[in-house]
Amino acid sequence: MSKRSVGAEDLGHIPAEVLQSTQPVLLRGLVGHWPLVQAAQRSDTALCDYLRGFGAGTRLNLWRGGPEIGGRFFYNDDFTGFNFHSEVRTFGALLDELLAGTSDALYLGSTEVDSAFPGLRLHNDLSALAGQHPHVSLWLGNRMQVATHFDLPDNVACVVAGRRRFTLFPPDQVANLYVGPLDLTPAGQPVSLVDVARPDHQRFPRYARALAQAQSFELLPGDALFIPSQWWHGVESLEPINALVNFWWRQSPAFMDTPLNTLMMALLSLRDLPPAQRDAWRVLFDHYVFDADEQTAGHIPPAARGVLAPMNDDSARQLRAALRNRLNR
């Protein structure tokens, strides 16, 4: 599959069409002017010294795996848990251990910048996304691999230290990715069971079809990648110290819940129905959800449309309360 790349002639500028893209877009050098990136390009020590200025004593939750996991944070052998554990350490202690070159796999994932590292965004931000009010996170660790997963928000992932390899798959490849449990996940999102760095094609033969549709990008410090909502992506961190800052936002109202909740409810109430009944419900979902337009409820007086009317904060709150009451029966 062809890949799209955009040069960042204007530092920090993201063309408007990129933010509306339904395909990944590589943004070379987008954040190369950040002091955080420039410190990392001098040395790992300079990077860590710069980061210490934003809360060396802050206590943070991180993941640790032994040398035997090879940097791949994943399930344990019998899928009763995971091959890593969580622990709380100070940010400064984490930086010291990374600089010392520990043999353990260390991963500080999705840590909110504004609350954990006050002031870091002052000179390391994307003004192009100010109108999106993004959630901004820091990711830090050594050589490691995050299993292929998808995120609900759109994402601009900015590599600030080390190299990262992203392997991305379109949403329609889910059947070829061999997704693991939905209710036992490493970090909340379902993940592919295929090792993106060393795929076992005998165990996962359909994965070859997914790879035929995949896009792979290797990012250097200062580069960024736009990842559209629900694109599956596996991430490999390739250097002894790697850091990334990402910006998440949704192109939908804040009152909307994650559709994963809907999927879970569908498993509870639809999946095991007799085939004819499932087919009937598929028609209803197409009519009221996937193919809904102005004619769906056009025959009902506007004041009587209820949940078929356009949703807003108040109606979403009322619907959520009604659903809670039904589920608690």
Per-residue pLDDT 10s for the chain (329 aa) are: 666 666 654 567 899 899 999 999 999 999 999 999 999 999 999 999 999 999 999 999 999 999 999 999 999 999 999 999 999 999 999 999 999 999 999 999 999 999 999 999 999 999 999 999 999 999 999 999 999 999 999 999 999 999 999 999 999 999 999 999 999 999 989 999 999 999 999 999 999 999 999 999 999 999 999 999 999 999 999 999 999 999 999 988 888 888 999 999 999 999 999 999 999 999 999 999 999 999 999 999 999 999 999 999 999 999 999 999 988 87
Q: What is the 8-class DSSP label of residue 192?
A: B
> Beta strand pairing status for 105-112 and 154-161?
unpaired
**Domains assigned to the chain:** 4-249 (2.60.120.10), 259-327 (no CATH)
* Edge-to-edge strands, sheet with 4-7: 4-7, 25-28, 224-227, 154-161, 242-249, 135-141, 105-112, 59-65, 85-90
Q: Within its chain, how far is the Cα of 151 from the centroid?
A: 4
| Euclidean distance between CA atoms 178 and 204, whole angstroms | 7
The residue behind tokens 């955080």 is 36
SS3 18: helix
3-state helix, strand, coil in the chain (%, to 5): 35, 25, 40
Long-range contacts of range 267-270, CB-CB < 8 Å, 24 or more positions apart? Answer: 267/182
Length of the chain: 329
The residue behind tokens 């940010």 is 91
Strand (E) or helix (H) holding 73: strand 72-73
Long-range contacts of range 182-188, CB-CB < 8 Å, 24 or more positions apart? Answer: 182/260, 182/263, 182/264, 182/267, 183/264, 184/79, 186/73, 186/74, 186/75, 186/82, 186/147, 187/109, 187/110, 187/149
Question: What is the per-residue pLDDT for 9?
Answer: 47
CA distances, 281 to each of 4, 176, 289, 315 (Å): 39, 26, 11, 24
Strand (E) or helix (H) holding 84: none
